[in-house]
A and B are shown apart, each in its own frame.
Chain A
């Protein structure tokens, strides 16, 4: 069994269980917030999505670094999938963030919340990852350049966060603490379970994607072995590791 398929069944089950538990806690256990009402519950989805996707980007950077150091294609695959998955989660994070902003402050977007703002910048940067990969045809070069990008991007995430936070403090005094450092116990439980659930969801989906891609790579390699090089048409330009 491929290394990517190991633990996959266990992970999937764990994800479904935690996600169900988290959502149940969110809707039935956590109290309704005084000021914002029911819509505030989107906080339990938005913040975990944001946190996990940011960690995903940093992980993508670490995997990219490993690729640069070892040259083993599997790290490139991991880097690609991590960033790809983070991007998808980020879109979810931005949309849920916008919904929450509308519910909490009446606007679809607020510049006074540094986490949202620096998050937007990070997403803008990583949106360019796939176009970058797609525009390099030499597969080796594509993997190397993507890895360099991932490392630079991953390092950029914390840096950007700090600078934006400083700037927002200068321009708008903080109105609401997004991280919820002083959450009451019932909210905290729901929150942490959701964080765990989204983390598991991320890892599981990433493993699925890696499994799908590596299986495809392996199949092509075997076909080429059996049928000869020319029988298998080369993959036309692709952004993903082939």
Chain B
């Protein structure tokens, strides 16, 4: 069921290409903006982690703005509500879509970040970073879907989404930024060849932040599942 909705969304996205390219361009532009704002040619350690984390958060918020707009404006909610389908199917489909958008975005953004900020240790830390990215994408996707569903039915939807979403995402951001910062710090002198070895280092000090992020994801998944129905029904 959720698969049908997801398929529809991905078809539309592939055809119109309105969300993901915009997110990617915005993220790369954010890196450039950070360069000028911070006046640094190279970023290290926690500073690099922070810039990456914040840029991804902003991109996620951008992504949430469009998530439910088609449903709202083209009668998608009604069409869905008329079907004998569990309401949570829409939550699952939309959150998965947003998650996938973030993953595709990162395939572009992380290499761009490596080029523009050249943080030392990125190659070696890649394994850990990928894990963190997956978990934080899940967090951004879940909270983003919930916030987007709330915002789409308001009059100021482009504003309400970000102002509600930003505080809610801060714990995920904290865990992600600190975790990535630690990953980068552990492997400061390894080049890209360290990637293979990096995958075996899972009990580095950033492990606890991975756990925090995972727990945050579980918490939000349960919460979103519990309240989502109320947002759709009238």
Is A bound to B?
yes
Q: Which of A's residues lie within 8 Å of B, judged by CB?
A: 68, 121-122, 124-125, 127-128, 131-132, 135-137, 140-141, 144-145, 147-149, 151-152, 155-156, 159-160, 163-164, 166-167, 170
Q: Report Cα–Cα, A144/B153, bound state, in Å.
A: 12
Q: Is B160 an interface residue (CB 8 A)?
A: yes
Instruction: Give every chain A residue within 8 A of B163 (Cβ-Cβ).
Output: 127-128, 131
Instruction: Give every chain B residue within 8 A of A164 (Cβ-Cβ).
Output: 171, 174
B-side interface mostly:
helix
Q: Which of B121-129, B188-196, B226-234 contacts A (4 or more CB under 8 A)?
A: B226-234
Chain B 147-178 residues near chain A, CB threshold 8 A: 150, 153-156, 159-160, 163-164, 166-168, 170-171, 174-175, 178
Q: Does the CB pair A163–B175 fall under 8 Å?
A: yes
Q: Does the CB pair A141–B153 fall under 8 Å?
A: yes
Contact of B155 among A124, A127, A137, A166 (CB under 8 A): A137
- 18 A-B pairs with C-beta separation under 8 A: A68-B227, A121-B167, A121-B170, A127-B163, A135-B155, A136-B153, A147-B230, A148-B227, A152-B146, A152-B223, A152-B227, A155-B219, A155-B223, A160-B170, A163-B171, A164-B171, A164-B174, A166-B212
Q: Does the CB pair A135–B170 fall under 8 Å?
A: no
Q: Report Cα–Cα, A132/B234, bound state, in Å.
A: 18
Q: Does the CB pair A132–B150 fall under 8 Å?
A: yes
Q: Report Cα–Cα, A26/B227, bound state, in Å.
A: 44
- Number of contact residues on B: which range applies? 20 to 34
A-side interface mostly:
helix
Which chain B residue shows the least CB distance to A147? Answer: B230
Instruction: Give every chain A residue within 8 A of B80 (Cβ-Cβ).
Output: none
Which chain A residue shows the least CB distance to B166? Answer: A124
Which chain B residue shows the least CB distance to A160? Answer: B171
Q: How far is the CB of B222 from chain A (nearest CB, A)?
A: 9
Q: Is B216 an interface residue (CB 8 A)?
A: yes
Closest 7 CB pairs of A and B: A125-B167, A163-B171, A135-B154, A135-B155, A124-B167, A135-B156, A167-B174
